[in-house]
Amino acid sequence: MRTLLRRSRRAVFALIGSAALALGGAVALPGTAQAANILSDPGFESGLSPWSCTGNLGSVVSSPVHGGSKALAGAVSSSDNAQCSQTVSVQPNTTYTLSGWVRGSYVYLGVNGGASTWTTSPSAYSQLSVSFTTGASQTSATIYVHGWYAQGTYYADDISLDGPGGGGGGSDTQAPTAPTGLTSTGKTSSSVSLQWNASTDNVGVTAYDIYRGSSQVLSVSGTSATVGGLSPSTGYTFTVKARDAAGNTSGASNSVTVTTDTGSGGGTGFKQAAPYLYEGWGDPPNPSTVMSATGIKWFTMAFVLDSGGCTPAWDGSRPLTGGADQSAINQIRSAGGDIVPSFGGWQGSKLGANCSSASALAGALQKVIDAYSLKAIDMDIENSDEFENEAVQARILTALKTVKANNPGLKTIVTFGTSTTGPTYYGNRLIEQAQSLGANIDVFTIMPFDFGGGSDMYGNTVNAAEGLKAKLKSTFGWDDATAYAHIGISGMNGLSDQQENTTPAIWTQIRDWANSHHIARLAFWAVNRDRPCAGGGVVSNCSGISQNNWQFTSITAGFTG
């Protein structure tokens, strides 16, 4: 039986430590190339360009500096680590040494997709250094420096990448090929989502610039983007150009003209009140009884796991069809409702971690989609095997992109833990990978509980959701309305694993906030626990507090988005 502690959270500094261990440390490599700093403006004496900083949080300051008269300041927030990066041309199969002087709490220096290192030097500059060897066909590298969430402003100066430049040090004048196949993959009243085919370049494409008419409105590293801040019922024409590390820009792609939807606000048009129902635990209630008593229509059915060989099964052991889970689903649908299955969770053998590839995982998801003719699926990404594994994150997102393309109209949801101020390192990484891969996720659902302390569950939940909104805005270029319309909240009714208490009154406040901000999804763990047992503690079949039967479900049924 799955224990209640399926969603335990680690303290933020434990997470910092584990991330640092995963990322940090120099790599012992043979033979460095002839030393020559190939970075532009390594000491920030000429301003910020060509450095690019997330969230526009980087600036050039005159104090404190390590050398010269200027340095970089990264204004870290609770939802953005103020990463500043620069892409340069490099030679394949060549060893490079990256070094720099940094100051601040938890400052990182590294290369995308490769080695990194970090230090804490709050009151004085200290030097970081790390080496890496380029791949057999690698012609560009993106180096970065960043701080840590909510740890205050960091400073960096005199950053050096020693080694030969691309093309043996010669000047690159060849522009990338123009992107092809530009198309719109979705729209709202205030945003348009775009996707295109990758360009090619002799040293590698580093960015794609999106144009609305003649104005550049966004720059991304992947082959998809969402342009926000648009007006309802308005036609817009978009093109895309590719850019390489030397600043060479391609010709424009084909143009695409899209008319935004009518109405106000952005998002996917998807609104769902769907508390968790678990047939393998906690005296499962009769779903039709709950529906009749509360008016709820949707349930999130937990959990689809791997029964071996990348084969989906309820809880990894109950049959996909023909068992108790299908019986519950039949009851729900007979009463006019529907379900979204949740894949994963805190423990058990998970498909995301155990399927060998994104295509294999997509095949497993498709079996469940076909079995129940689903309208939506939820990937509950937790623990170190999925959430804290960036390769598995990418596998899951790629599989979701595949099934979304193969099942028109299917909505995809990812659910993950959070801090009281928004996504943690791995939550931010999940969102960034979703953007980079063009996964087109409909709803990013946070689980605002098991924070490790804190009694203000309403305030903590709202702050966490606002932190998520800020991250979605900075990553996808969305406006407020569009970002809110891609947010989900999945709470825990009554007592959480760490004795946090979400009362019916607090849950009503959270529901009302969710409605007033027009988010996409509201859920809680779990209907099985939506029964009173004042002083009962944290158990599987009641909330541990005084309440009415199905009171949290009734409150949730009032979510309209």
What pairing do the DSSP bridges indicate for beta strands 501-502 and 215-220? unpaired
Q: Are strands 494-495 and 501-502 parallel, antiparallel or unpaired?
A: antiparallel
Measured between alpha carbons, how far is 228 from 212 in angstroms, rounded to an integer?
Answer: 11
**500 has catalytic annotation:** no
Between CA 63 and CA 155 the distance in angstroms is 9
Residue 163 is which amino acid? G
Q: Identify whether the C-beta of residue 494 lies closer than 8 Å to the C-beta of residue 501.
A: yes
Residue 171: burial class (beta carbons within 10 Å; 0-12, 13-18, 19+): exposed
In contact, 485 and 189? CB cutoff 8 Å: no
Dihedral angle of Cα 364, 365, 370, 376, to the nearest 10 degrees: 170
> CA–CA separation, 430 vs 388, rounded Å?
9
Q: Check: CB of residue 444 under 8 Å from CB of residue 521.
A: no
Peptide bond just before 50 cis, omega within 30 deg: yes
Supply angle C-alpha 464, 469, 475, rounded to 5: 125
Backbone phi and psi for residue 498, each to the nearest 5 degrees, phi listed first: -105, 25
**Mind spelling out the 3-state secondary structure of 3-66?**
CCHHHCCCCHHHHHHHHHHHHCCCCCCCCCCCCCECCCCCCCCCCCCCCEEHHHCEEEECCCCC
Q: For residue 435, what is the enclosing H or E element?
A: helix 425-437
Q: Are 133 and 93 in contact (CB under 8 A)?
A: yes
Q: How far is 227 from 513, CA to CA, in rounded Å?
A: 26
Contact 457, 449 (CB under 8 A): yes
Enter the tokens of residue 66.
């390590």
Which residues, 6 or more positions from 516, have their beta carbon under 8 angstroms from its beta carbon? none
CB 26 within 8 A of CB 131: yes
Give the helix ranges, DSSP H, for 373-449.
390-406, 425-437
Distance CA 492, CA 529 (A): 9
3 state SS of 147: coil
Coil, helix or strand at residue 391: helix
Q: Which residue in 382, 386, 432, 466 is the catalytic one?
A: 382
* Selection from 312, 349, 416 nearest residue 9 by Cα: 416
Residues 270, 522: Cα–Cα separation, whole Å: 11
Active site positions, annotated: 382
